[in-house]
Copies of this chain bind each other. A is one copy, B any other.
Amino acid sequence: MPGTNPLYKAFETELRVRPDDIDMFQHVHNSKYFDYVLAARYDQMELNYGMSMERFMENGYGWVVKAVHINFKRALMLGDYFTVKTGINEIDDRGCRVKFIITNKSNNKVSADGWFDFVMIDINTGKSVLIPDDIMEHYMI
Contacts and interface: CB of A to CB of B under 8 A. Distances in A.
Interface of A: 18-20, 22-27, 29-32, 34-35, 38-39, 42, 46, 52-54, 57, 62, 64-72, 75, 77-79, 121, 123, 126
A65 B24 contact: no
Contacts of A32: 31
A113 to B, nearest CB: 10
Contacts of A52: 79
30 contacts: A18-B39, A19-B23, A19-B24, A19-B35, A19-B38, A19-B42, A20-B29, A20-B31, A20-B35, A22-B23, A23-B23, A23-B24, A24-B57, A24-B78, A25-B62, A25-B121, A25-B123, A25-B126, A27-B126, A30-B38, A30-B64, A30-B68, A31-B35, A42-B79, A52-B79, A54-B78, A66-B72, A67-B71, A68-B70, A69-B69
